[in-house]
Amino acid sequence: MTEPMTADQARAVVYDAYTTGLPQAAAAKLLTGRATPAWVAHEYAALRRRGVSSMAGQQTLFDTEAAE
């Protein structure tokens, strides 16, 4: 039996999905049974309001200057 996911863990999944440019539906699918699509939409909206870039994770992943 798996342990239930905490709200902080679910938010971390949503944050990672958002910052790598995944659509809300994909993030909701990652959290199937742990969070509703409405909750994921709320979290995406909160990240947008906070000014978090939806491409921040991709920019970090492909940052050639950081690799030097």
| 9-53 tens-digit pLDDT | 999 999 999 998 899 999 999 998 889 999 999 999 999 999 988
pLDDT of residue 5: 84
Q: Which domain holds residue 13?
A: 9-48
Q: Measuring CA to CA, which residue among 25, 27, 21, 30 is closest to residue 53?
A: 21
* Residue with token string 């342990």: 3
Residue 53 lies in a domain: no
Determine, yes or no, domain membership for 42.
yes
32, part of any domain: yes
Number of domains in the chain: 1
Residue 26's nearest CA partner among 8, 42, 41, 4 is 41
Residue 27: left if φ>0, alpha if ψ -120 to 50, beta else—which one? alpha
**Global pTM?**
0.76
Task: Check if the beta carbon of residue 28 is closer than 8 Å to that of residue 35.
Answer: yes
